[in-house]
């Protein structure tokens, strides 16, 4: 049994900053990049936020179909985070629910939520020696060293682009940097992605890998 649900959220509190963006093709200048947004398994389907989505799906379906399924639990699910002109999360979930007779069934639910966020274009960073850019670059290398227990040494940012995600109550800058660093003395380039919320003094390394 398949359920479709749909909802638009105006609240900004429940934002998940876990976008995994993959380029299909790259346009030049300031033209928008064509992005494909990957589906990823939901790691923890008992997370309260994911449980709310499961309950929401069942409730919506109950209203539409005029039935009375009772949510039991999320069995599994996938999420797709979209950061385009807007921010959205799409879900595909298998939800266990009982019908009037009390017998449990698994339902397949699909739906999405959209946040009222503006996601700006990626624009090249012109001044790669800007103190803020250098700070972000060093942060990426330090974080990666902590996470991966490596000892890379930051040299400089060799290329970069940034993007602003905003709303009245929300401000985040995303950075994608190519960073030159040395690993035991030998030079390498790394591709790092950092999300920065300066007003909240929050900063995360979201991706770090060697650039070929
Ligand atoms: C999943 O989330 C629930 C609720 O937040 C938590 O109690 C549980 O420990 C989490 N499980 C894992 C494997 O992270
Ligand atoms: C960093 O991650 C934490 C935990 O997931 C999150 O609460 C915070 O908003 C994130 N900050 C940024 C700038 O993405």
Task: Quote the tokens at residue 201.
Answer: 């003094």
Residue pLDDT, tens place only, 74-87: 999 999 988 776 77
Q: Tokens 């591709």 belong to which residue?
A: 191
> Distance between CA atoms of 104 and 88, rounded to whole angstroms?
31
Distance separating alpha carbons of residues 20 and 38, to the nearest angstrom: 7
Which pLDDT does position 10 carry in this prediction? 31
Mutate to test the pocket of ligand 2, among 12, 15, 16, 17 (most ligand atoms within 8 A of CB): 17
Mean pLDDT score, 141-147: 97
Closest ligand to 16 CA? 2
Q: How far is the CA of 12 from the centre of ligand 2 (A)?
A: 13
Long-range contacts formed by 21-29: CB under 8 A, 24+ apart: 21/83
Which atom, in ligand 2's list, is nearest to the CA of 197? 13
Contact between 56 and 18 under an 8 Å Cβ cutoff? The reply is: no
**CA 2 / ligand 2 centre spacing (Å):** 33
Ligand 2, pocket-test mutation among 19, 115, 197, 204, most atoms within 8 A of CB: 204
CB 111 within 8 A of CB 6: yes
DSSP string for residues in 129-153: T-HHHHHHHHHHHHHHHHHHT--EE
Q: Which of the four pLDDT bands, split at 50, 70 and 90, describes residue 120? A: confident
Percent of the chain having pLDDT more than 70? 82
Q: Could you tell me the two tokens for 180?
A: 């030159």
- Residue 16: the pLDDT is 30
Most confident of 1-15, 70-84, 132-146: 132-146
Report the pLDDT value the prediction gives residue 101, as an integer from 0 to 100. Answer: 77
| Tokens coding 29 | 């200048």
- What are the contacts of 167-175 at 24+ separation with CB within 8 A? 167/12, 167/115, 167/116, 167/117, 167/118, 169/12, 170/12, 170/15, 170/117, 171/197, 171/198, 171/199, 172/17, 172/196, 172/197, 173/197, 173/198, 175/125, 175/133, 175/136
Task: Give the ligand at the shortest distance from the Cα of 46.
Answer: 1
What's the 43 CA to ligand 1 centre distance in angstroms? 9
52 pocket-lining for ligand 1 (C-beta < 6 Å): no
| Average pLDDT of the chain, as a whole number | 82
The verdict on the CB of residue 46 being under 6 Å from ligand 1 is yes
The minimum-distance atom of ligand 2 relative to the CA of 206 is 14
Taking every pair of Cα atoms in the chain, the longest distance, rounded to a whole number of angstroms, is: 69
């Amino acid at each position: 049994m398949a359920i479709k649900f749909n909802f638009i959220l105006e609240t900004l509190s429940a934002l998940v900053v876990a976008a995994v963006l993959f380029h299909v093709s790259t346009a030049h200048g300031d033209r928008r990049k064509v992005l494909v947004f990957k589906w990823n398994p939901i790691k923890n389907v008992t997370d309260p936020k994911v449980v709310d989505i499961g309950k929401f799906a069942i409730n919506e379906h109950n209203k539409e179909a005029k039935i009375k399924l009772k949510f039991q639990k999320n069995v599994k699910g996938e999420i797709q985070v979209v950061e385009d002109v807007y921010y959205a999360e799409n879900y595909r979930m298998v939800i266990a629910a009982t019908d009037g007779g009390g017998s449990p069934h698994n339902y397949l639910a699909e739906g999405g939520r959209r946040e009222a966020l503006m996601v700006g274009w990626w624009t090249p960073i012109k001044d790669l020696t800007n103190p803020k850019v250098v700070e972000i670059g060093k942060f990426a290398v330090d974080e990666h060293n902590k996470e991966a227990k490596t000892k890379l040494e930051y040299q400089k940012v060799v290329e970069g682009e940034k993007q602003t995600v905003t709303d009245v109550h929300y401000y985040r800058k995303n950075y994608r940097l190519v960073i030159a660093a040395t690993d035991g003395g030998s030079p390498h380039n790394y591709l790092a992605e950092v999300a920065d919320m300066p007003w909240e003094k929050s900063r995360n390394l979201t991706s770090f890998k060697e650039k070929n």
